[in-house]
Amino acid sequence: MKESLIVFAKEIKDSLRDRRTLVTAVLMPIFLMPVIMIGTFKMQEVQMKKSEAQIPKIAFNIQADAPMLVNFLKNDKKYVVVADQTSDSAKAMMEKGDLNVYLEVAPTFEKMVSQGNPAEVKVYHKSSITDSVTAFQKVTIALQEFNQRTAVARLAQKNVPPAILTAILPTPVDFATAQERGGYFIGFLLPMFIVLFAIVGGMYIAIDVSAGEKERKTLEALLLTPASRFTIVTGKFLAVAATASTTIILSLFSLYAAFKFFPPNFGTGGEFIISLTPKAISIMLGVGVIMAIMFSGLLLSVAIFAKSYKEAQNYITPFYLLAILPVSIVSSIPGFKPTLPFFMIPGVNGVFVVKEVLLSQYDTTHILVTLGSLLVFAVIAIFIATKIYSREGVLFRD
Amino acid sequence: MIKVKNLTKVFNGLTAVKDVSFETRAGEIFGLLGPNGAGKTTTIRVIATVLQPTSGTAEVAGFDIIKQPEDVRRNIGVLTAEIGLYDRFTARENMRYFGHLYRMEGEALEKRIEYLIEALDMGRFADRRAGQFSTGMKQKVAIARSIIHDPKVIIFDEPTAGLDVLASQTVIAFMRKAREQGNLVVLSTHDMAHAQKLCDRVAIMHRSRLVALDTQERLLQQTNTRNLEDAFLQIVGEDAAKLVEHEREEQHLAGIKKKRRFGL
Count of structural domains, chain B: 1
Say how far apart CA B119 and CA A14 lie, in whole Å.
27
* B185 inside domain: yes
Which chain A residues in 160-219 lie under 8 Å from chain B, judged by CB atoms? 216-219
The alpha carbons of chain B give a radius of gyration, in whole angstroms, of: 19
CB contact under 8 A, B50 and A220: yes
CB contact under 8 A, B100 and A393: no
* B254 inside domain: no
Helix (H) or strand (E) holding B203: strand B201-206
Say whether pLDDT at B262 is over 50. no
Domain of B137?
2-236
For A289-298, the pLDDT digits (tens) are 999 999 998 8
Chain A CB within 8 Å of residue B100 CB = yes
Say how far apart CA A24 and CA A11 lie, in whole Å.
16
Say whether pLDDT at A110 is over 80. yes
For A198-236, the pLDDT digits (tens) are 888 899 999 999 999 989 889 999 999 999 888 999 999
For the entire predicted model, the pTM comes to: 0.81
Per-residue confidence band for B263, with pLDDT thresholds at 50, 70 and 90: very low
SS3 B6: strand
Query: Pick the residue with more confidence: B77 or A383?
Result: B77
For B210-219, the pLDDT digits (tens) are 988 999 889 8
Query: What CATH number does the domain containing B221 carry?
Result: 3.40.50.300
Per-residue confidence band for A327, with pLDDT thresholds at 50, 70 and 90: confident
Per-residue confidence band for A272, with pLDDT thresholds at 50, 70 and 90: low
* B245 inside domain: no
* B79 inside domain: yes
User: What is the pLDDT, as a whole number, of residue A20?
Assistant: 81
For A47-60, the pLDDT digits (tens) are 878 877 888 999 99
Residues of A in contact with B71 (CB under 8 A): 226
Say whether pLDDT at B53 is over 80. yes
CB contact under 8 A, A17 and B88: yes
Minimum mean pLDDT range among A6-20, A22-36, A68-82: A22-36
Q: Do residues A133 and A127 make contact, with C-beta atoms less than 8 angstroms apart?
A: yes
> What share of chain B in percent tops pLDDT 70?
95
First to last CA, chain A: 30
Say how far apart CA A90 and CA A105 lie, in whole Å.
14
Q: Do residues A38 and A264 make contact, with C-beta atoms less than 8 angstroms apart?
A: yes
For B175-191, the pLDDT digits (tens) are 999 999 999 999 999 88
Say whether pLDDT at A304 is over 50. yes
Extents of the domains making up chain A: 2-47+177-395, 54-165
Say whether pLDDT at A104 is over 50. yes
Q: Can you state the angle between helices A190-209 and A348-358, rounded to 10 degrees?
A: 140
Can you tell me the mean pLDDT for A161-180? 84
Name which of A10, A224, A307, A317 to mutate to probe chain B: the one with the most chain B Cβ atoms within 10 A of its Cβ.
A224
Neighbours of A104 (CB within 10 A): 20
SS3 B9: strand
Per-residue confidence band for B253, with pLDDT thresholds at 50, 70 and 90: confident
Q: Residue B108 class from Cβ within 10 Å (0-12 exposed, 13-18 middle, 19+ buried)? A: exposed
Per-residue confidence band for B264, with pLDDT thresholds at 50, 70 and 90: very low
A344 DSSP 8-state letter: G
* CATH superfamily of this structure's domain A54-165: abc type-2 transporter like domain (3.40.1710.10)
Say how far apart CA A296 and CA A200 lie, in whole Å.
10
In the sheet that B184-189 helps form, which strands lie side by side, from edge to edge?
B76-79, B153-157, B184-189, B29-33, B201-206, B209-215
CB contact under 8 A, B88 and A14: yes
SS3 A1: coil
* B258 inside domain: no
Can you tell me the mean pLDDT for A158-174? 86
Question: Which spans in chain A are helix H?
Answer: 2-16, 19-21, 28-53, 67-75, 87-96, 109-115, 130-157, 178-186, 190-209, 211-215, 219-223, 229-261, 278-303, 309-332, 348-358, 364-389, 392-395
Per-residue confidence band for B65, with pLDDT thresholds at 50, 70 and 90: very high
Q: Which residues pair with B206 in a beta bridge?
A: B209
For A330-370, the pLDDT digits (tens) are 877 777 788 888 898 888 888 889 888 888 888 889 999 99
User: What is the pLDDT, as a whole number, of residue A280?
Assistant: 85
User: What is the pLDDT, as a whole number, of residue B261?
Assistant: 47
Neighbours of A358 (CB within 10 A): 23
Minimum mean pLDDT range among A297-301, A320-324, A327-331: A327-331
A104 DSSP 8-state letter: E
Name which of B97, B128, B149, B252 to mutate to probe chain A: the one with the most chain A Cβ atoms within 10 A of its Cβ.
B97
Report the residue from A217, A225, A393 with minimal CB separation from B101: A225
Can you tell me the mean pLDDT for B118-125? 91
User: What is the pLDDT, as a whole number, of residue B36?
Assistant: 84
Chain B CB within 8 Å of residue A130 CB = no
CB contact under 8 A, B50 and A223: yes
Residues of B in contact with A227 (CB under 8 A): 101
Say how far apart CA B264 and CA B257 lie, in whole Å.
13
User: What is the pLDDT, as a whole number, of residue A271?
Assistant: 63
Chain B: closest CA distance from residue A213 (Å): 8
Torsion sign, CA atoms A303, A308, A309, A311 = negative
The alpha carbons of chain A give a radius of gyration, in whole angstroms, of: 31
For A176-236, the DSSP string reads --HHHHHHHHHTTTHHHHHHHHHHHHHHHHHHHHTHHHHHTT-HHHHHTSSS-HHHHHHHH
* B247 inside domain: no
Minimum mean pLDDT range among A111-120, A253-262, B223-232: A253-262
For B201-250, the pLDDT digits (tens) are 999 998 899 988 999 889 888 888 888 888 888 888 766 667 777 777 77
